[in-house]
Structure 1
Amino acid sequence: MTPVLESSSASSDEARWQAVLARDAAQDGLFYYGVGTTGIFCRPACPSRLPRRENVVYFETPEAAQAAGFRACLRCQPGQVSVQQQAVAQVKCLLDNSETAPTLAELARATQLSPAHLQRLFKAQVGVSPKQYALARRAERLKARLRSGSDVTTALFDAGHASASTLYSSQTDQLGMAPGAYQKGGAGQRIAYAVVSSRLGQMLVAATPRGLVAVRFGEDTELLAELRSEYPHAELSDDGPALQAQISAIQAYLAGQERSLNLPRDVSSSDFQCRVWEALQAIPYGETRSYAQVAEMIGSPAAVRAVARACASNPVALIVPCHRVVRSDGALSGYRWGVERKRALLKNEREGK
């Protein structure tokens, strides 16, 4: 039997091996390891005798391990939902459905785990702490209520804010834009936009007075329709001259005349998305990182899939260089604005180093 290695990332494999050595239950459900000499695959916390490292391969799912010819361990039963996964699911359910987010101590009592262990377990599996998850969910509820037409005061209390002060607090505010940008789909907000030709085809650039809300590539009609769908009640203005500085900077970047785009942006993001996007901006020009490496960069090595989702949700192409993230084997994966554009961007950057 020839084992199939799911990830060739050394940093990711090192973190996984350390989890196996520590029999880290917090990693349960995040990956599985197979032992080539026995043909068995296990959870990271399996109490069985530790294998030799050179015989170990890693898989993201039990199905992947079984497809490679491994059979489930009878001791740790990796095909079953673990107690740890059940606890995390229970916490997410409580945070998703509670008007006021439970404290960590309350969540720990509900799951019969210690607060410290629950905190570590939740962050390992979800990528953020329970508090950060609760803040992100509250921000999502607020945005949904504002888009549906609620006034700011009604929306903030319905979303779970105790007062207006928590809405504007730098420690809890995750809107990205001022609340008015989301009220009734952007009612009261002025967004200037322009669709111009670029080396990657038609490009839409849009911004509020605070910063860029969109840099996208595609067809003229599709680009504008998407912007109008996202901000149906905003005052959209076709105003190329107002965006000339941003457009010129982006065009210079595409032409290889500039290696960075330090343009202000005005976009909504969760705490996790913000951390991922900041990590992407730290990747040097002309270089790439794998999704696993980005997860390592933000201190959440198990949150590879969440990193991929954060890359896919990036609304400002090039400003946040999500094109510099590739698969662990170096292959190009999906790109919101097309893999061919991603290939062209990386080729231009490599040649311009």
Structure 2
Amino acid sequence: MNWSDVVKDKRWHWLINKNVPAKATFVYGVLTSKIYFDPLRPSRLPKADNIIFFNKEADAIKAGFRKSKRNGAVQEDTHLRHARAIKKACEHIDKNQYIVSLTELASSVGMSHYHFHRIFKEHTGVTPKEYIKSKKRVFVQENINKHISITEAVYNLLQLQQPHL
């Protein structure tokens, strides 16, 4: 299929207008990468020169194309994996009494500290450091609410953070 055929195809118009019918069963492949995409999942469109349409997924596979990893289930799995990692990191912070480095947190969930920091902020809205500070504030506030003086509440926090011999 050459460029002029692709441009005339109704499927191309559906893609560029982001108006693919829900009952559409075709997939499109990118010739340069040998990857095929589900038209109902959002993705960046290739140049018309590099696209080929298949009536069924099986046709794309037979032609040597592999499914895009950006399609639905893979993205959902990544989001769930990140959410589990953030939950595990928060538990790690609590278990270690709020004394933990970014590198230690990241390695506890199997990520680089750069990636972990970005994912943590994306999921929680705060950085790991801000999260730890807020946990410390809550600890002190709970102690103050128990009718303990501010000095004693801060002292309790410091005692909690001392390494046990």
When normalised by structure 2's length, the TM-score is: 0.50
Whether the 8 Å contact between 1:104 and 1:130 is mirrored in structure 2 is: yes
Which has the greater radius of gyration?
A: 2
Per the alignment, residue 113 of structure 2 pairs with 115
How far residue 161 of structure 1 moved from its aligned partner, in angstroms, is: 7.3
Whether the 8 Å contact between 2:106 and 2:113 is mirrored in structure 1 is: yes
**Hey, what's the Cα distance between the residues in 2 that align with 1:98 and 1:111?**
15
**Hey, what's the Cα distance between the residues in 2 that align with 1:80 and 1:112?**
14
How far residue 112 of structure 1 moved from its aligned partner, in angstroms, is: 0.9
**Hey, what's the Cα distance between the residues in 2 that align with 1:114 and 1:107?**
9
Cα distance change on mapping 1:89 and 1:52 into 2, 3 Å: closer
Cα distance change on mapping 1:92 and 1:36 into 2, 3 Å: farther
1:15-62 per-position Cα deviation (integer Å, ceiling 9, x unaligned): xxxxxxxxxxxxxxxxxxxx862649xxxxxx9747367xxxxxxxxx
Partner letter of residue 153 of structure 2? A
Partner residue of 1:104 out of 97, 102, 112:
102
**Hey, what's the Cα distance between the residues in 2 that align with 1:118 and 1:148?**
35
Cα distance change on mapping 1:82 and 1:139 into 2, 3 Å: same
**Hey, what's the Cα distance between the residues in 1 that align with 2:115 and 2:130?**
16
SS in 1 for 2:42: coil
Per the alignment, residue 148 of structure 2 pairs with 150
**Hey, what's the Cα distance between the residues in 1 that align with 2:91 and 2:114?**
19
Partner residue of 1:51 out of 42, 46, 50:
42
Partner residue of 1:137 out of 119, 135, 138:
135
**Hey, what's the Cα distance between the residues in 1 that align with 2:159 and 2:130?**
14
Partner residue of 2:74 out of 73, 76, 82:
76
Partner letter of residue 155 of structure 2? F
Partner letter of residue 91 of structure 2? C
Partner residue of 1:37 out of 20, 26, 41:
20
Whether the 8 Å contact between 2:97 and 2:160 is mirrored in structure 1 is: no
SS in 1 for 2:148: coil
1:261-315 per-position Cα deviation (integer Å, ceiling 9, x unaligned): xxxxxxxxxxxxxxxxxxxxxxxxxxxxxxxxxxxxxxxxxxxxxxxxxxxxxxx
| Count of aligned positions | 104
How far residue 117 of structure 1 moved from its aligned partner, in angstroms, is: 0.6
User: What is the CA RMSD across the aligned residues, in angstroms?
Assistant: 3.5
**Hey, what's the Cα distance between the residues in 2 that align with 1:39 and 1:80?**
25
More helix by share: 2
SS in 2 for 1:159: helix
Whether the 8 Å contact between 2:103 and 2:113 is mirrored in structure 1 is: yes
Partner letter of residue 147 of structure 2? G
Partner letter of residue 99 of structure 2? A
1:229-252 per-position Cα deviation (integer Å, ceiling 9, x unaligned): xxxxxxxxxxxxxxxxxxxxxxxx
**Hey, what's the Cα distance between the residues in 1 that align with 2:83 and 2:36?**
20
How far residue 132 of structure 1 moved from its aligned partner, in angstroms, is: 0.4
Per the alignment, residue 192 of structure 1 pairs with none
Whether the 8 Å contact between 1:142 and 1:156 is mirrored in structure 2 is: yes
How far residue 89 of structure 1 moved from its aligned partner, in angstroms, is: 1.1
**Hey, what's the Cα distance between the residues in 1 that align with 2:98 and 2:75?**
37
How far residue 151 of structure 1 moved from its aligned partner, in angstroms, is: 2.8
How far residue 82 of structure 1 moved from its aligned partner, in angstroms, is: 1.8
More strand by share: 1
- Could you tell me which runs of 5 or more consecutive residues in structure 1 were left unpaired when the two chains were aligned: 1-34, 41-46, 54-72, 164-353
